[in-house]
């Protein structure tokens, strides 16, 4: 049994933790996920693998709620996600039980990141192969937040971020186009960002919005399709305006 | 206390156990809902509660008596009697404590199935009246809570000793 105690995640001679870096590779292969924070709303969007015809799509929920005011989307190994989400949900309730207060977004992010870190420094286990985007509202101040964790166990707060496949392109797009938005504008921004790398159409994207009053709401395919058409119309109008030189003086 | 949107729990017994146990059940019922996306049925919650009491019974028992009331869309309202030695029984009417000797008799006399909310509250008031007149150490104030298709909520108070507001210095 002693042989299995050796840590799988050990330092390389040049200071890398290869297992963690390989885990990040696994994340890069996962479905794209994007999160945007608005002034009164937070939006999560995830790429959905196109129509697997026989699968019951209701079962595959990629955006999950951890508590009434906190939601999570992730990219990477979905099985690892299940375990992590379960532990986070237990921690949310446990926190409510012991301190009679709902968790803050930062607390639960710190907890999940701590869990991910533990598995980079224990014997015989491998790191979790997923990065998470955690959104929510502070239970008392109502301030919205977006956090990201990764397999190494680091976490930080973001105004908008993406993870998973082609996350660099999405992040570039967000950097260019981000501005403080609220309500439907935030949703549009998130979907526009996701459309950079995903085939357009409601059936390829899963979007959920969270507001202070109504908690997490998954958008229907029809709603997403409507917003996508709006975005495409705007894009077409912008293209037309560019092509036709402005004649007004 | 409100267990979830459509369930109420009334508990009596050892104060520490009462608070700790009911809050523990409440958080576990919440956890189930987050894990599975749908709430527990009243029967399931009652059986879970009873199971926890039973497990602890021969180690370190919880001295808590519980009445669990809930409304399920499919089966309508239901009431469960769970006592401190983990007896579970689905009932139409129940009472715990010294006041139960009087309340149960009033219920025997006045209860009939298919009572309306007003009739039911009236019966509760009759029980409260008995408790107030017959019990030497009757509690002065009562709260009435209801659970129906619209959810679990506080319905009314029956106070004989009001809270006096603290006058500021």
| Residue A89 sits at the chain B interface (C-beta within 8 Å) | yes
CA distances for B28 relative to A94, B3, B19, angstroms: 9, 10, 14
**B31 vs A61, A65, A93: nearest CB:** A93
Of A65, A90, A97, the CB nearest to B23: A97
Whole-model pTM over 0.95: no
- Alpha carbon of A96: minimum distance to chain B alpha carbons (Å): 8
pLDDT, tens only, A103-116: 999 999 999 999 99
Nearest to B156 by CA among B118, B112, B129, B108: B118
Residue to substitute from B19, B21, B31, interface A, most A β-carbons within 10 A: B31
pLDDT of residue A62: 85
Structure tokens at A38: 């608005």
Q: Is the pLDDT reported for residue A5 higher than 60?
A: no
Handedness of CA B122, B127, B130, B132 (dihedral sign): negative
Please choose, from the candidates B15, B18, B132, B1, the residue with its C-alpha nearest in 3D space to the C-alpha of residue B70. Answer: B1
Among A186-195, A218-227, A238-247, B80-89, which is the least confidently predicted range? A238-247
Paired tokens of B43? 């029967």
3-state secondary structure of B35: helix
Tokens of A57: 């799509």
Average pLDDT over residues B14-40: 93
The residue with greater pLDDT, B21 or A122, is B21
User: What is d(CA A87, CA A134) in angstroms, rounded to the nearest whole number?
Assistant: 14
> What pLDDT score was predicted for residue B61?
95
Task: Give the pLDDT score at A59.
Answer: 63
Cα–Cα distances (Å) from A204 to A73, A145, A230, B34, B63, in that order, read 16, 26, 17, 25, 54
Closest residue to A86, CB basis, from B23, B28, B35: B35
Q: Are strands A33-37 and A160-163 parallel, antiparallel or unpaired?
A: antiparallel
- Give the separation between CA B97 and CA B99, rounded to whole angstroms: 5
Query: Which residue is closest to B19 within chain A, CA to CA?
Result: A97
Mean pLDDT for the stretch of residues A198-212: 84
A72 CB within 8 Å of a chain B CB: no
The per-residue pLDDT for A1 is 44
Domains of chain B: 1-91 (3.60.20.10), 95-161 (no CATH)
Q: Residue A104: what pLDDT?
A: 94
Whole-angstrom distance, CA of residue A2 vs CA of residue A213:
53
What tens digit of pLDDT does each residue of A31-74 get?
999 999 999 999 999 998 776 777 776 666 789 999 999 999 99
Q: Are the beta carbons of A147 and A29 closer than 8 angstroms?
A: no
| Contacts with A86 from chain B: Cβ below 8 Å | 35
Structure tokens at A45: 């969007």
Q: Which member of A89, A94, A97 has the closest CB to residue B34?
A: A89
What percent of chain A has pLDDT above 90? 59
Q: Give the pLDDT confidence score for residue B114 in this predicted structure.
A: 92
**Cα gap A174→A71, rounded to integer Å:** 21
Q: What is d(CA A65, CA A144) in angstroms, rounded to the nearest whole number?
A: 15
Interface contact B23-A93, CB threshold 8 A? no
pLDDT, residue A246, reads: 60
Q: Are strands A144-149 and A155-157 parallel, antiparallel or unpaired?
A: antiparallel
Query: Confidence band (pLDDT; 50, 70, 90) for A15?
Result: confident
Beta bridge partners of B64: B13
Best of A65, A66, A86, A97 to disrupt the B interface by mutation (most B CBs within 10 Å)? Answer: A97
Domains of chain A in sequence order = 19-49+56-235 (3.60.20.10)
Judged by CB atoms closer than 8 Å, whether chains meet at B34 and A97 is answered as no
Q: Give percent of chain B with pLDDT exceeding 90.
A: 85
Task: Give which of B38, B5, B34, B37 is closest to A66, Cα–Cα.
Answer: B34
Q: How far apart are CA B14 and CA A230, in angstroms?
A: 62
Measured N-to-C along each axis, helices A184-195 and A221-243 cross at an angle, to the nearest 10 degrees, of 80
Residue A248: what pLDDT? 54
Taking only residues 95 to 134 of chain A, the set having a beta carbon closer than 8 angstroms to any beta carbon of chain B reads 96-97
Termini Cα distance of chain B? 35
Residues of B in contact with A94 (CB under 8 A): 27
Cα A164 to Cα B33: distance, rounded to the nearest angstrom:
29
């Amino acid at each position: 049994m002693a042989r299995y105690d050796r840590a799988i995640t050990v330092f390389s001679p040049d200071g890398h933790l290869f297992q963690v870096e390989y885990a990040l590779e696994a994340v890069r292969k996962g479905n794209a996920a994007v999160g945007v924070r608005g002034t009164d709303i937070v939006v999560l969007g995830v790429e959905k693998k196109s129509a697997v015809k026989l699968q019951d799509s209701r079962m595959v929920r990629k955006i999950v709620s951890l508590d009434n005011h906190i939601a999570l989307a992730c990219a990477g190994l979905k099985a690892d996600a299940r375990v992590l989400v379960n532990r986070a949900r237990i921690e949310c309730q446990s926190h409510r039980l012991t301190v009679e207060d709902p968790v803050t977004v930062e607390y639960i992010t710190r907890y999940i990141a701590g869990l991910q870190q533990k598995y980079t420094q224990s014997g015989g286990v491998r790191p979790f192969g997923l990065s998470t985007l955690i959104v929510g509202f502070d239970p008392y101040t109502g301030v919205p937040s977006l956090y990201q964790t990764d397999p190494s166990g680091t976490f930080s707060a973001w105004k908008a971020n993406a993870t998973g496949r082609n996350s660099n392109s999405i992040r570039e797009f967000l950097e260019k186009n981000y501005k403080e938005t609220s309500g439907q504008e935030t949703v549009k921004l998130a979907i526009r960002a996701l459309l950079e790398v995903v085939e357009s159409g409601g059936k390829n994207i899963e979007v959920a919005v969270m507001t202070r009053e109504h908690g997490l709401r998954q958008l229907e395919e029809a709603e997403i399709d409507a917003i996508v058409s709006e975005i495409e119309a705007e894009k077409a109008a912008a293209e037309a305006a560019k092509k036709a030189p402005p004649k007004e003086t | 206390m409100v267990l979830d949107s459509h369930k109420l729990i009334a508990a009596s017994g050892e104060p520490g156990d009462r608070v700790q146990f009911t809050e523990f059940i409440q958080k576990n019922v919440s956890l189930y809902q987050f894990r599975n996306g749908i709430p527990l049925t009243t029967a399931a919650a009652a059986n879970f509660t009873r199971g926890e009491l039973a497990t602890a019974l021969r180690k370190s028992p919880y001295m808590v008596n519980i009445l669990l009331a809930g409304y399920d869309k499919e089966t309508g309202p239901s009431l469960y009697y769970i006592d401190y030695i983990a007896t579970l029984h689905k009932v139409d009417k129940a009472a715990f404590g010294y006041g139960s000797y009087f309340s149960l008799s009033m219920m025997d006399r006045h209860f009939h199935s298919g009572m309306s909310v007003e009739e039911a509250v009236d019966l509760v008031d009759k029980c409260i009246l008995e408790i107030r007149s017959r019990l030497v150490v009757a509690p002065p104030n009562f709260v009435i809570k209801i659970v129906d298709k619209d959810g679990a909520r506080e319905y009314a108070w029956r106070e004989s000793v009001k809270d006096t507001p603290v006058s500021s210095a």
